[in-house]
């Protein structure tokens, strides 16, 4: 069972999310209302995923994400916000968060985001497509090689670099090198942005029957 912590300054929201996410099969191992408590909680609870509000009373969730990933590089972070703001989105993804969910989304969408990130994948709320898929996505950019498309497809499906390396019988560093090359070719800001651009351009497609 995926273990998560929730960091949000609204107590009623924390309690409501805890109940709904638990009913969806996730294990809530703790909640916190600010940056300081969130740092302490993750250190003690050691969750798979941290669901973090961007706006917190003693700082912000993006800075908290960076601090958490410094001490727990493998932690999956889903930023949870009511703001569909481009600067926040890019800054949030650049912080190392692998998920970005809007509070306007459904509980099913939030659960899907958490489970995708827990499995090592990435998630960006589809309502942010118009921001994430910038005009550069429609420009004529270098095409990806068959191997690059293969790796990005697997990454879009939620596989980690380690699992992709095992599946394709290549080293993890080879996988990461291909991902860096894709980011450069597509002029993407990061790995999540590169996946979105590759999907938009038709370089890769998600399996229609893929679960999660």
d(C-alpha 84, C-alpha 104), whole Å: 10
Q: Are 128 and 84 in contact (CB under 8 A)?
A: yes
Same structural domain, 149 and 120: no
pLDDT at 75 over 80: yes
CATH number at residue 64: 3.40.50.2300
In a domain, 45, yes or no: yes
Better-scored residue on pLDDT, 85 or 98: 98
pLDDT tens column, 108-125: 999 999 999 998 888 888
Instruction: Look up tokens 């970005």; give the residue.
Output: 100
Question: Over the chain, what is the mean pLDDT?
Answer: 87
Radius of gyration, alpha carbons of the chain: 17
Residue-level pLDDT at 58? 93
DSSP string, 155-201: HHTT--HHHHHHHHT--HHHHHHHHHHHHHHTT-SSHHHHHHHHHHH
Better-scored residue on pLDDT, 87 or 4: 4
- Average pLDDT score over residue span 14-35: 96
Same structural domain, 120 and 139: no
Same structural domain, 106 and 61: yes
Same structural domain, 63 and 23: yes
DSSP string, the chain: --EEEEE-S-HHHHHHHHHHHHHTT-EEEEEESSHHHHHHHHHHH--SEEEEESEETTEEHHHHHHHHHHH-TT-EEEEEES---HHHHHHHHHTT-SEEEETTS-HHHHHHHHHHHHTT--EE-GGGHHHHS-GGGGS--PPPPHHHHHHHHHHHTT--HHHHHHHHT--HHHHHHHHHHHHHHTT-SSHHHHHHHHHHHTS----TT---
Same structural domain, 37 and 8: yes
CATH number at residue 147: 1.10.10.10
Same structural domain, 38 and 15: yes
Same structural domain, 105 and 140: no
Select from 87, 13, 1, 75 the least CA-distant residue to 43.
75
> 48 vs 81, 134, 201, 206, CA distance in Å?
20, 31, 32, 24
What is the number of domains present in the chain? 2
Q: pLDDT-based confidence at 128, cuts 50/70/90?
A: confident
In a domain, 129, yes or no: no
Same structural domain, 114 and 152: no
10 Å CB burial of residue 176 (0-12, 13-18, 19+) is middle
Domain boundary (124, 159, 191) is at 124
What domain range is 116 assigned to?
Answer: 3-124
Same structural domain, 144 and 91: no
């Amino acid at each position: 069972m995926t273990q998560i912590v929730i960091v949000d300054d609204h107590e009623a929201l924390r309690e409501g999310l805890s109940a709904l996410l638990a009913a969806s099969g996730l294990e809530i191992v703790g909640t916190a209302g600010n940056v300081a408590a969130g740092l302490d909680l993750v250190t003690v609870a050691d969750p798979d995923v941290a669901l973090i509000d961007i706006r917190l009373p003693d700082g912000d969730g993006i800075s908290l994400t960076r601090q958490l990933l410094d001490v727990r590089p493998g932690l999956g972070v889903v930023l949870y916000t009511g703001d569909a703001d481009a600067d926040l989105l890019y800054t949030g993804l650049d912080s190392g968060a692998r998920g970005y969910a809007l509070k306007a989304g459904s509980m099913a969408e939030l659960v899907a985001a958490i489970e995708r990130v827990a499995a090592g994948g990435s998630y960006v709320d589809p309502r942010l497509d118009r921001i994430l898929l910038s005009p550069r996505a429609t420009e004529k950019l270098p095409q990806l090689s068959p191997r690059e498309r293969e790796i990005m497809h697997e990454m879009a499906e939620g596989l980690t670099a380690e699992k992709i390396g095992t599946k394709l019988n290549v080293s993890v560093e080879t996988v990461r090198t291909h991902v860096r090359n894709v980011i450069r070719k597509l002029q993407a800001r990061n790995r999540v942005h590169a996946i979105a651009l590759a999907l938009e351009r038709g370089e890769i497609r998600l399996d229609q029957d893929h679960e999660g």
